[in-house]
Amino acid sequence: LSAIDIACWDLRGKAAGQSVCALLGGLRDRVPTYASGALMRPHPIDYLAKAGPRLKGMGFRQMKMQCGSERTIGESIERVRVMREGIGADVDLMCDINQLWSVHHAIDVGRRLEDEGLHLYWLEDPTTHDDYPGLGRIADALTTPIAAGEYVYGISPFRHLLEHRSIDIVMIDLLRVGGITHWMKIAGMAEAFNLPVVSHLVPEIHVHLIAAIPNGLTV
């Protein structure tokens, strides 16, 4: 469904001589982007200490790292601390857990990160993606925004995430939700709940979508 829907939007744009962003309303012609994929979980701390400043030097003012496989909470904290010290306070730092933590563990780590002033722009998928009450408990316990949604297929699960107030930032995967048509419907639901939307993968298409909606945050 996603492939067919995206192809139809592409054909419509070609026929009209317009970009997909313009077809969707064309709210703006520039959007923020963040570096994703350079700070992966297997990389050791000494690599992160060099990679963060390198990305900053390339012009990125937002970047995302991964945690979740550390043996202790202290190791997780240290991993984030090294990144924050390397990039400074003026760069937005996100952290992706990929569902690897329990609810209690996520709250514990999140609070310690906040107590140490290591400020995360968002904490992503801290626990199982369909544990709506559990995600809600984490979101309630932390001031750090919780982002999730990349593992979700279709529209209905997003309604549950939003109604449970499970997340603060809605991450939509274009290929999993059913294409551009469904993506826009979910973005509209998020706007109704006063929540921002971020994309997951496929940036060459997502840049059109984030630029077309009033609650688009970053690509």
Residues annotated as catalytic (active site), given as ranges:
200
Nearest 5°: the CA angle 167, 197, 53 is: 95
| Position 26, amino acid | G
Q: What's CA 206's distance to the chain center, in Å?
A: 12
Burial class (CB in 10 A: 0-12, 13-18, 19+), 204: exposed
Question: Strand ranges (DSSP E) for the chain?
Answer: 35-39, 62-66, 92-96, 122-124, 146-148, 169-172, 197-199, 216-218
- List b or e across 99-123, with b for residues whose CB sees 16 or more CB atoms inside 10 angstroms: bbbebebbbebbeebeeeebebbbb
Which one, of 130, 218, 211, 206, lies nearest residue 173 by Cα? 206
> What is the DSSP pairing of strand 216-218 with strand 197-199?
parallel
Q: 81: alpha, beta or left, given left = phi > 0 and alpha = psi -120 to 50?
A: alpha
Q: Which residues contact 131 (CB under 8 A, 6 or more apart)?
A: 103
